[in-house]
């Protein structure tokens, strides 16, 4: 295969050292090489930068090993054309693995243009991604703390969750605070604490609060409530920082908000994962493959076999599935029409993954063309007559005869 780069370098990155291989020479001849080892401190990485600039090397490829590539990327970014490679796609021949061989192998692949670059968003989007991912983690931690309080209430024979849908609402928190303080509540006090429809359930709440509450239970509930309050404050501060970083992309945020099932919070997280510039992905198929929401291929001898797609951006995949569950509840939309058409033969899990795939394709077009989502209607993929024929055929397969009569509205 023909070489396309006269001067390029490959970096084999580890936690404590970086092995750099520099290849140079005419494209029609075997290149010369230089190999040098550097540390991973900032001074050593600056020495690596000077070493590359002295050799006029502007094409550098590196392997995305854990998070160890990030310090190197931060130093070299803006000084040369960087390519981040997926380790699974640039594996060397077994039996010849050394640090020097790995660096030379990466450099040779890069010289021939055989390394497909991984998507690395700009610095502000990377910062936004860190914040949105951390926010999702904190929200999960809040849910875990709430579940622990539910468990303690059951252990203390307090059946508040039986009569209150959300015990962490205004009424539920007031009752939990009284439990923590060891107060003995009468009917009048409970009626003043609870709001709206719960006032009708005061007798049931009195019975629910009659349990076997010990000092241990009160202390544990207080710890969990304090932790929830701390986490909620952290989430609020994170959301303020996210709003500041997302301000330059307010147009993209509003466009994503027009898609069914995607809220402003979800739009910010999606934008942090894929970025606002769709030129990094040649087509919507590349984006769905990168996210891991498209089917995996496993074909041999002309036979296609089932294979789950474990690759991709797990955080984005989970977020799209959550948006998909919200989107299928929208009436007169093509998205729930796709779900209910597929769920009959694929099951819920595969059908919702197909909805996530559809959402991401819509996101790609919306961000690429900078246009809002246009609803095509529930009948976009099939007419009403085709749906009727499907159900008639199904009923006939069960051994029944079907007679159709149109209902005339009164």
Quickly tell me which residue has 């629910």 as its tokens: 208
Q: Would you say residue 112 has pLDDT above 90?
A: yes
Q: Are 128 and 249 in contact (CB under 8 A)?
A: no
Instruction: Report pLDDT for 115.
Output: 93
Tokens of 241: 């920082």
Measured between its terminal Cα atoms, the distance across the chain in Å is 76
CA distance 373 to 378: 15
Torsion over CA of 107, 113, 115 and 119, rounded to 10 degrees?
Answer: 120
Q: Are 145 and 167 in contact (CB under 8 A)?
A: no
pTM for the whole structure: 0.83
User: Rounded mean pLDDT of the chain?
Assistant: 90
Tokens of 196: 């709206």
Tokens of 235: 């989430």
Taking only the tens place, the pLDDT of each residue in 52-80 is 999 999 999 998 878 899 999 999 999 99
Instruction: Report pLDDT for 201.
Output: 87
- Percent of the chain past pLDDT 70, that is, above it, reads 96
Q: Are 153 and 147 in contact (CB under 8 A)?
A: no
Q: Are 338 and 311 in contact (CB under 8 A)?
A: no
Q: Which is it for strands 59-63 and 81-85: parallel, antiparallel or unpaired? A: parallel
CA distance 399 to 134: 56
**Longest Cα pair distance anywhere in the chain, in angstroms?**
93
Instruction: Report pLDDT for 148.
Output: 96
Instruction: Report pLDDT for 322.
Output: 95
Q: Are 56 and 24 in contact (CB under 8 A)?
A: no
- Percent of the chain past pLDDT 90, that is, above it, reads 61
366 φ/ψ angles, rounded to the nearest 5 degrees: -60, -45
CA distance 185 to 179: 9
Instruction: Report pLDDT for 310.
Output: 67
Quickly tell me which residue has 């994962």 as its tokens: 273
Rounded mean pLDDT, 81-95: 86
Instruction: Report pLDDT for 410.
Output: 61
Tokens of 222: 């207080």
Taking only the tens place, the pLDDT of each residue in 315-342 is 999 999 999 999 999 988 889 988 988 9
- State the pLDDT confidence band at 95, using cuts at 50, 70 and 90: confident
Give the Å distances, CA to CA, from 288 to 129, 190, 282, 291, 340: 18, 53, 11, 5, 21
Kindly report each contact of residues 328-335 with a partner whose C-beta sits within 8 Å and lies 24 or more positions away, as own/partner: 328/261, 328/352, 328/355, 329/261, 330/260, 330/261, 332/375, 332/377, 332/378, 333/260, 333/375, 333/377, 333/378, 334/375, 334/376, 334/377, 334/378, 334/380, 334/381, 335/260, 335/261, 335/359
Higher pLDDT, 228 or 208: 228
Quickly tell me which residue has 């508040």 as its tokens: 160
Tell which residue, 45, 70, 87, 84, has the closest CA to residue 130: 70
Contacts with 328 (C-beta within 8 Å, 6 or more apart), sequence order: 261, 335, 336, 339, 340, 352, 355
Q: Are 364 and 281 in contact (CB under 8 A)?
A: yes
CB atoms within 10 A of CB 98: 11
Contacts with 249 (C-beta within 8 Å, 6 or more apart), sequence order: 271, 276
- State the pLDDT confidence band at 222, using cuts at 50, 70 and 90: very high
């Amino acid at each position: 295969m023909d070489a396309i780069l006269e001067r390029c370098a490959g970096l084999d990155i580890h936690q404590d050292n970086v092995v750099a291989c520099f290849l140079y020479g005419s494209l029609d001849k075997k290149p010369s090489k230089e190999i040098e080892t550097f540390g991973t401190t900032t001074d050593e990485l600056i020495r690596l930068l000077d070493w590359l600039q002295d050799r006029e090397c502007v094409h550098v490829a590196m392997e995305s090993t854990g998070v160890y590539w990030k310090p190197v990327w931060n130093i070299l970014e803006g000084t040369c054309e960087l390519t981040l490679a997926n380790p699974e796609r640039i594996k060397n021949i077994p039996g010849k693995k050394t640090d020097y061989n790995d660096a030379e192998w990466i450099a040779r692949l890069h010289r021939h243009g055989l390394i497909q670059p991984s998507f690395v968003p700009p610095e502000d989007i990377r910062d936004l991604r860190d914040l949105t991912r951390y926010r999702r983690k904190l929200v999960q931690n809040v849910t875990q703390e709430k579940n622990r309080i539910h468990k303690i209430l059951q252990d203390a024979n307090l059946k508040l969750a039986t009569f209150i849908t959300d015990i962490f609402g205004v009424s539920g928190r007031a009752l939990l605070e009284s439990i923590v303080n060891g107060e003995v509540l009468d009917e009048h006090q409970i009626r003043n604490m609870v709001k709206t429809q719960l006032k009708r359930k005061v007798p049931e709440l009195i019975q629910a609060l009659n349990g076997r509450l010990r000092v241990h239970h009160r202390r544990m509930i207080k710890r969990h409530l304090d932790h929830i309050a701390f986490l909620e404050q952290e989430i609020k501060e994170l959301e303020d920082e996210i709003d500041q970083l997302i301000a330059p992309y307010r147009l993209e945020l509003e466009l994503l908000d027009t898609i069914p099932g995607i809220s402003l919070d979800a739009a910010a997280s999606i934008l942090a994962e894929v970025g606002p510039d769709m030129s990094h992905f040649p087509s919507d198929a590349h984006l769905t493959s990168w996210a891991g929401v498209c089917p995996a291929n496993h074909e041999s001898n002309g036979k296609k076999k089932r294979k789950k797609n474990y690759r991709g951006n797990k955080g984005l995949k989970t977020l799209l599935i959550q948006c998909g569950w919200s989107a299928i509840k929208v009436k007169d939309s093509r998205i729930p029409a796709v779900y209910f058409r597929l769920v009959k033969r694929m099951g819920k899990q595969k059908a919702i993954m197909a909805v996530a795939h559809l959402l991401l394709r819509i996101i790609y077009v919306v961000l690429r063309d900078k246009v809002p989502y246009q609803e095509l209607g529930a009948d976009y993929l099939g007419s009403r007559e085709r749906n009727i024929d499907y159900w008639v055929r199904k009923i006939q397969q069960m051994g029944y005869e079907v007679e159709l009569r149109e209902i005339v509205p009164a």
